[in-house]
Amino acid sequence: MDAIAAKILQTPEDFRDAGLIAPALVPALEAVAARYVAAVTPILQTAIAETGRDGPIARQFVPSPAELNVAADERADPIGDAVHSPVKGVVHRYPDRVLLMPTHVCAVYCRFCFRREAVGPDAGLMSAAELDAAMAYIARTPAVWEVILTGGDPLVLSARRLDDIVRRLDAIPHVRVLRVHTRVPIAVPERIDGALIAAFRTSGKAVYVAIHCNHPAELTREVIAACARLADAGFGLLSQSVLLKGVNDSVETLAELMRALVAARIKPYYLHHLDLAPGTSHFRVPVAEGQALMRVLRTRVSGIALPTYVLDIPGGFGKVPVGPAYLAPVIDAVAQDSYAVEDRMGARHIYPPVPE
């Protein structure tokens, strides 16, 4: 693997030659490659070498024949982007914020991606006319307070393109917040350089960067340094993680991940329940198990290290918190307007106490 450590792995042959798949799997992975794009950057190859070819990093990025098994409840657009897209490249699901997707290219391609049917080099960039139409929509929609740059990964774009997008959004008075959803600090930390940071520092808006990170082994020295450059530039840092079988479905791993994020000045934001994208059922964790993990996690880590466990309702109905419930009404004529409340250790208390 060291001999090709500088190469981005993309084809089944690349993964075979790097020792990440058995040669016998190449034909099956050709069928996977015909449908879903793959790419693993050098720094993630190193992380795979350190955690094993069957470990949590390889599982996220190395193609598997299991991706050919499409369950009946899986769908190409699992969270309903299309039904909320008024113009190409814009998703307007919630009143005060929109997604703007200037590219569908990523630095790496997660095997569980909810947009896996849409992303890849062939999808490319928005054209100039498409970007103009997207900007015009945002400009004529005064309810839009926040623009979320996503895709694809917006940070694969050149600093020049990013600067143009930021300046155009900066000229729209009702847009007050820019948020960037990205894997680039994890996959290509050297990309977080002065030119990229300068493209966002030109903005008069508040800028937040939401970093997708699922396992503590992703937070290498280089990644932490890249995140520090963003934090030192004044950007708010958030994290998004996906609950994944065989990757982070244990309290120990989640606690280590969330603490490591906070130590890197990244606020854990969302822990996503896996979306129903095609060929991803081998990553699924039952909702009840996710709730149980969150219940125990609350007893292990600081409040600033707790993400919100959310599920995106299929069909475009938005995300909702699905964490464990700690409060339930007391059905008792004497104790009207009272509630049974569980503390973090599971003991039940009545709130407010019934007057004597």
Q: Amino acid identity, residue 251?
A: V
Q: Is residue 2 pLDDT above 80, yes or no?
A: no
Annotated catalytic, 113?
yes
* CATH 3.20.20.70 residue spans of the chain: 82-321
Among the listed residues 77, 110, 213, 227, the single catalytic one is: 110
Token pair 């190469």 in the structure block, residue:
7
For the chain, give the percent of residues with pLDDT over 70. 96
Using an 8 Å Cβ cutoff, are 41 and 57 in contact?
A: no
Mean predicted confidence (pLDDT) in 19-38: 96
Among the listed residues 77, 106, 116, 153, the single catalytic one is: 106
Annotated catalytic, 213?
no
Annotated catalytic, 168?
no
Structural fold of domain 82-321: TIM Barrel (3.20.20)
Among the listed residues 16, 97, 161, 229, the single catalytic one is: 97
pLDDT in tens, 330-347: 877 566 678 889 988 889
Annotated catalytic, 326?
no
pLDDT at 329: 86
Annotated catalytic, 339?
no
pLDDT at 202: 86
Q: Is residue 5 pLDDT above 70, yes or no?
A: no
pLDDT in tens, 217-247: 999 999 999 999 999 999 999 999 999 999 9
Q: Of 19-23, 308-312, 338-342, where does mean pLDDT reach its minimum?
A: 338-342
Please, which residues have CB within 8 angstroms of residue 205's CB and are 6 or more apart in sequence?
A: 169, 170, 175, 176, 177, 178
pLDDT at 331: 76
Q: Give the residue with greater pLDDT, 5 vs 102.
A: 102
pLDDT in tens, 132-161: 999 999 999 999 999 999 999 999 999 999
Q: pLDDT averaged over the chain?
A: 94
pLDDT at 189: 98
For the chain, give the percent of residues with pLDDT over 90. 89
Annotated catalytic, 309?
no
pLDDT in tens, 179-207: 999 999 999 999 999 999 999 998 899 99
